[in-house]
Chain A
Amino acid sequence: AQSVAQPEDQVNVAEGNPLTVKCTYSVSGNPYLFWYVQYPNRGLQFLLKYITGDNLVKGSYGFEAEFNKSQTSFHLKKPSALVSDSALYFCAVRDMGTGRRALTFGSGTRLQVQP
């Protein structure tokens, strides 16, 4: 069965510093990996995805993520955090080794960027 782990409930970072939000996954086949962001009282918004190709994926708002197959990780990164990046971030995976079309989401990581 496919699963996703986000080991940190909250990440605190100062504005202007680099940020990393961690995600590890478990699948039987090849993974499709996604990052979403949720602002208060809003639905989830797509940030970026990895399907195949380059391990470094660039997405919206200056975010990027690195796919590491050996470590089964897909950490979200940004070189310089903004206060407006403060939100809830979700990692999600789809296991291409199964017929299941749905994504499995992690528990979410709250990012707090201090001015």
Chain B
Amino acid sequence: DAGVIQSPRHEVTEMGQEVTLRCKPISGHDYLFWYRQTMMRGLELLIYFNNNVPIDDSGMPEDRFSAKMPNASFSTLKIQPSEPRDSAVYFCASSQNPQLEQFFGPGTRLTVL
């Protein structure tokens, strides 16, 4: 298995633009997590899905952020409109069940100018 795949690896955009981050979890993993990492706030959980259903989105910063998982092999995190304070590395992770470790993707480095 190729592991968790994220795209793009780097994204530079201007304030106000829409940004879409993509994630393909490991096949057979029922849980998918989106995290954001910044120097100031560390690693924050944004949202997680179980069997494609959002379970906990309490970490989503505000209404500008939305996440979907239309099927077991694909998820998106969308920011509309983007702001400079959204600049961070966004990680996607998946796991087979909560007792087992999460496998992280390489991350998307987002820069909003």
Contacts and interface: CB of A to CB of B under 8 A. Distances in A.
B42 interface: yes
Given A101-B50, A107-B42, A108-B43, A46 B103 contact: yes
Nearest to A44: B104
Contacts of B93: 43-44
Contacts, number: 48
B105 interface: yes
Which of the four size classes fits the interface of chain B? Answer: 20 to 34
Contact of A102 (B45, B91, B103): B45
A90 B42 CA distance: 10
Contact of B43 (A42, A45, A90): A90
A108 B39 CA distance: 10
Contact of B99 (A51, A100, A105): A51
Contact of B106 (A34, A42, A102): A42
9 contacts: A43-B4, A43-B91, A44-B93, A44-B102, A44-B104, A46-B102, A51-B99, A102-B45, A107-B42
- Interchain residue pairs A-B with the least CB separation, the first 5: A43-B104, A46-B101, A101-B98, A44-B104, A105-B43
